[in-house]
Amino acid sequence: MTDATTDLLIIGAGPTGLFSAYYGGFRGLRVAVVDSLPELGGQITAMYPEKAILDVAGFPSVKGRDLVEGLVTQAASADPAYFLDRTALTLEHRDDDVVVTLDDDTRIEARAVLITAGIGKFTPRPLPAGEGWLGRGMEFFVPSFAPYAGKDVVIVGGGDSAFDWAQHLEPVARSVTLVHRRDAFRAHERTVAAVKASSVDIVTKAQVTALRGETTLEEVEITVDGQEPQTRPAQAVVAALGFVADLGTIQEWGLETNKRHVCVDGSMRTNLPRVFAAGDITDYPGKVRLIAVGFGEAATAVNNAAVVIDPAAHVFPGHSSEA
């Protein structure tokens, strides 16, 4: 028994998945979208909705949340069925269909499946000194800048997220301190230069070794290599130490993978019949993992899936301006 039927089932509701939903509707397909997160937008919504994104065609700069809002509005033209806060567990082929079972036992029967799951499920890397402080002054992500207004903020990490948040919180917070265990950074050079030129205090070869306070965070202990620990006031700590990504049960479906990415051909086909993939989850020679690239892959995947779903269809859809 199946609980839902559709033409195209999209697994992943990030930017690539949302654009795929729109494009499926443009091709006249019934569309369903599954995502393990409770909200649309994938990593952007969960991790950096306030971040300015600079490499989307047509937008010199667009906030993450605004990009997602536009994609959701665009996808609405396809009237997709959303299955949020649910994880795809199994995939099986039945005649000319693919059946995907979710973790709540919902079974969705589709003529084709498009995997746009990005990096899969992601779990933040813990801050050892922060055990027990989550929600009491320590967070892993910064979905909104307003709660940090007038606070002393300590950011731990040396990657893009750490420097992006330092740059955006600097004009909002009373003070921002960035702590990194090395004196070299993984973040984009332009962002590093901007933060170094700001009032952000960068402490390198150091670690946050303790968080202290009665009921909420009041101060942190920072230990620099070879020095005595120092105490600084802090009402907020952002542990931007990266995250562990896991494709989960997708890895058990028999897909050809390259480490944690799904191998596809030029049509975005996987090695499994009627199963396509697009976005950051894919791998092929010359692959570049950008949102802009994911949009192009989404159109390629949906147009090729349309022919699998209806052999009488054509890969080239015509131009949307002529619709």
pLDDT, tens only, 237-252: 999 998 877 788 899 9
Residue pair 200/154 in contact by the 8 Å Cβ criterion: no
Q: Does this chain's domain 4-122+243-322 share its CATH topology with 126-239?
A: yes
* Residue 227: count of CB within 10 angstroms of its CB: 10
- Residue 311's pLDDT band, with cuts at 50, 70 and 90, is very high
Looking at the chain, the whole-number percentage of residues with pLDDT higher than 70 is 98
Looking at residue 246, its pLDDT comes to 78
Residue with tokens 């069925």: 81
As a CATH number, domain 126-239 is 3.50.50.60
Q: How far apart are CA 156 and CA 212, in angstroms?
A: 16
Which tens digit of pLDDT belongs to each residue from 7-62?
Answer: 999 999 999 999 999 999 999 999 999 998 888 998 888 777 878 888 899 999 99
- The pLDDT assigned to 203 comes to 97
Contact 151, 174 (CB under 8 A): yes
Pairing of strands 275-277, 230-233: unpaired
Q: Which fold has domain 4-122+243-322?
A: FAD/NAD(P)-binding domain (3.50.50)
Q: What are the residue ranges spanned by the domains of the chain?
A: 4-122+243-322, 126-239
285-313: b (≥16 Cβ within 10 Å) or e? eeeeeebebbbebbbbbbbbbbebbeeeb
Which residue positions form the known binding site?
16, 35, 43, 48, 88, 122, 280, 321
Q: Which residues contact 10 (CB under 8 A, 6 or more apart)?
A: 17, 20, 21, 24, 31, 32, 33, 34, 80, 113, 114, 116
User: What is the reported pLDDT for 2?
Assistant: 64
State the pTM of this model: 0.79
Binding-site annotation: residue ranges for FAD: 16, 35, 43, 48, 88, 122, 280, 321
User: What pLDDT score does 142 carry?
Assistant: 87
Supply angle C-alpha 309, 310, 311, rounded to 5. Answer: 115
The CA distances from residue 161 to 39, 76, 127, 205, 239, in Å, are 20, 30, 15, 19, 10
